[in-house]
Amino acid sequence: MKFKLGQKVRYKRITKHIKAGEKYLKLDDFVEGIDEEKMLERRESIELMNERTGHIMGRRRFVFKTYLGVEVDNGDGISPGSEWVDIKKQEYGYAYQVAYDMGHTNYVLEEDLN
């Protein structure tokens, strides 16, 4: 952890959660079938209009990317041959939680803090 708790920092870019939409979870989106993987971004970077000053509250681990693919039941389950969309792998990263006002916080990547 490069920054210490309570340390005063400045930043202009934050990261926010992106909700996974229903459109990514349909079998119809997977054209090539079982071997195809789709990457789903889970966090977005937002540029603020003005630079903010805040204090470090801690560091959190987030899912930044999720890779989805089609799974097939080979006869072990209830309905053999059925297909569904499942998570193949996820990429994790860390962001600092920064308090910039009483009751307001942002999540900021380490490279965006000064």
**pTM, to two decimals:** 0.79
> Tens digit of pLDDT for each residue in 53-68?
999 999 999 999 998 8
Name the residue among 113, 4, 2, 103 with its Cα closest to residue 53.
113
Long-range contacts of 20-24 (CB under 8 A, 24+ apart): 20/66, 24/68, 24/85
The whole-angstrom separation of Cα 72 and Cα 31 is: 15
Per-residue model confidence (pLDDT) at position 11: 98
User: Across the strands, what pairs with 62?
Assistant: 93
Distance, in Å, from the CA atom of 22 to the CA atom of 18, rounded to the nearest integer, reads 12
Res 51 pLDDT > 60: yes
